[in-house]
Amino acid sequence: MMLRKVLGTVLLLGALSGCTQPLRVCETDSDCSEGGACDQASHLCYRVVCDTPCAPYEACVATNTCGPLYTDLVVTPGEGTVLKAGEVTVRAELRVRTGFTPNYPETLSFSVVRSGGGAGSGGTLVQVEKNEGVYTAKWTPPPGDGVFRLTAAYPEAGGPSATVNLSVDSTPPNFVVTVPPADAGVSGGGTTYADPAPGFATAWRRDQVAPVEIRTNEPNLDPSTLTVVLQGTDGGTVPGAPVTAFASSEPCDAGFCGVAQVKLWEPPFDTFRGTMTVDVSGADKVGNTGRDSHSFNVTRWKWVFDGAAGAIRVAPGVGETGTIYLGTNANTSGKVFALAPDGTLKWGLEIGAVVGGPAVGASDGGTELVYVGANSASEGSLYALQGKDGGTLLKCVMPASGAFEGGLALGRTSTGQFETAVSIYNAGGSSLIVGIRPGASVLCPVSESPPGGAIPVLTAGTPVVMRNENIFFGGATPEGPKITSYTFGLPVPRSNWPVALPAVSRSLALVGSDVIGTAASSEFVTGGLFKAPEVGTPAVTLLYPAGSAWSSRVYGFAVGSSDNAFFGAESSSSTVFNRFNLTNSAVQSASSSPAIRTTPVVGVNGNVYTVATNGIVRAWNSDAHSPRWTLESALGTVEASPTLDCPRDASGALVEGSHGVLYVPVGGKLHAFVVDSRGLDTSAPWPKYQHDSRNTGNPDTPLPSCQ
């Protein structure tokens, strides 16, 4: 065979025409096309030729040697790709050997077969177009999941071909969603945690974070698509866990296990006990979406404490870090208890029947005093107890035989600014204004009225309120019921006091420049809501009912924002719960049976909480003046008002959430319920019994903030 080396065509033509500059010069082989090579001596391209013509898919790559014209046939989707069911665009690209001119065929051959399947099992495939060596076709897989072999080949035998294995996934992920039962906690020390309602012993609480467990055997799951939505009682939803579920640290019994934490205080929950639903959705890697949901029980029941030491007849007080102080009364005996926010008993002290207080002193470096008035068989005493352990810092024994009947007020006297707890001590047919003030020179001050000016006998259960050194209280006199005001330490009433009432005063509050109060007769349907100026000439004005007839019993009341007073009222024909505006006298009534006699609590988020005489608890929408939820089961006889605190952990530290805890005394038990107020409404002038969580009865005491 004769070797032929042929110079580049352009060079030859240039020589024949007499040109001195060649049209094709080179430095390296890459400067030459068609497989040409660069002659380093002449820097001219030359190429090799084959005597025998090469196939259309070949090129002459060496002397009389035909080689592949195409280096690759690349198929897209590539090997191992997982596809969603439906039409798929298949792409095949012929890649030409460097330096050679392509010779693309008009078409390529496409074929698809199911792995392990027979003819016709690969679906339909239609070629669509050719564009510069790129060939596209539309493939529609057959119904169902499967693995398929897709082949693209040069139309002539011996040409390049490529095969890829593709999976078709038409099945959405199948999820199994569960929320495990809650651990209510171990009862002990008088505290029980499990909700006693049937089916709710292992319910999750409204203030808890519940784990949503997610399992699936989907092999192509995309975990980043997992979402969890928590649905409340009215269909309202919130993102329960706007984070990707993560692999569980526990042993996994499925292809994928994950846990998402949901905050149960976030969605609407207008019921005391009920269900919440979690909806979980997620997709596989090709976009098939699956979902599952799970409903589980949720309760507002937190715990109940039974001191087994008599009835609770005065509202509990709450300290700076959430310690709850309560007193019990069993005729002439009783105890003071301190409970942690989780219901754990911190201490208990037997001191006698607790009637006044507990009023909690201001915290001084984490130390707070607890003031109570207690009665023994023959006398009464005021106590200042150490909040941390119940130790008695000071005890003031009253100078005469008698008993405390009402609450305490707490403030600071002008002389030395000593913290002073003030109460009224009934001694025979008269009364004494008494106090207890640790640290002062006179620890147990007593004010006795002069002859002929007897201090009114305090009505059982009536609180005492104060501003600066002026105290206000209601009582009985030989002339009839009255309210009066004294300056603490002076034996005579302030100018123009007392003022007569048609019925016994049941509660008082200092709002703006007025003394607001209620009156109710225990014998007749007589009483109402009234006001009198705090300073100046007292004159009682009947606010409710309208007109001049004191024809409705009113007991406890609270004043919220916008001058709205909330109270239960009892007429001869009905018992109602009222919202009464102190400015314009607008009143809105809602039926309430049985009667509400304790003081409501005004919380944030527009909620007002009431407890009826038989222990039915309700949360009200203050704007609509309608119930949000009701604990229908009657808990028992109620003699003391509820109180409200922030959400806290066992140590008393504030925790996140829009919820709080309502403490409800019923009989001898204190109940803790999760509510939808993060503490008291701090814009309210008198949101609860004795104004604030500490029960100071003093409008100058700051309302606790839960921020």
Question: Which CATH architecture group holds 71-169?
Answer: Sandwich (2.60)
* Residues 457-469 as b or e (16 or more Cβ within 10 Å = b): bbbbbbbbbbbeb
pLDDT in tens, 540-589: 999 999 999 999 999 999 999 999 999 999 999 999 999 999 999 999 99
Least confident of 165-174, 530-539, 642-651: 530-539
406 pLDDT higher than 90? no
Q: Measure the N-to-C terminal CA separation of the chain; round to a whole number of Å.
A: 99
495: which residues sit within 8 A by CB, 6+ positions away?
A: none
Q: Please give the pLDDT value at position 248.
A: 57
Share of the chain above pLDDT 90, in %: 71
Reduced 3-state DSSP string for 385-402: EECCCCCEEEEEECCCCC
User: What's the mean pLDDT in 268-274?
Assistant: 95
Lowest mean pLDDT among 16-30, 46-60, 121-135: 16-30
Same fold, 71-169 and 302-675: no
* Pick from 354-358, 402-406, 594-598, 612-616: least confident: 402-406
Percent pLDDT > 70 in the chain is: 92
pLDDT digits (tens, 9 = 90+) for 415-429: 668 899 999 998 877
Domain range summary for the chain, segments of one domain joined by +: 6-49, 71-169, 178-299, 302-675
CATH 2.60.40 fits 178-299, yes or no: yes
Q: Of the given ranges (48-62, 448-462, 648-662, 673-687), which has the lowest mean pLDDT?
A: 448-462
613-640: average pLDDT:
95
What is the C-alpha separation between 445 and 434, in angstroms, rounded? 6
| CATH classification number, 302-675, choose in 2.40.30.270, 3.40.50.970, 2.60.120.1440, 2.130.10.10 | 2.130.10.10
Cα–Cα distance between 169 and 185 in angstroms, integer? 46
Give me the pLDDT at residue 427, please: 84
193-251: pLDDT as tens digits: 999 999 999 999 999 999 999 999 999 999 889 989 999 987 777 765 543 455 556 67
E-only strand ranges, 541-596? 541-544, 553-559, 564-570, 575-581, 587-591
**Which pLDDT score is estimated for 496?**
86
Helices first, then strands: H and E counts in the chain: 1, 57
pLDDT value at residue 490: 84
pLDDT in tens, 98-141: 888 899 999 999 999 998 765 558 889 998 899 999 999 999 99
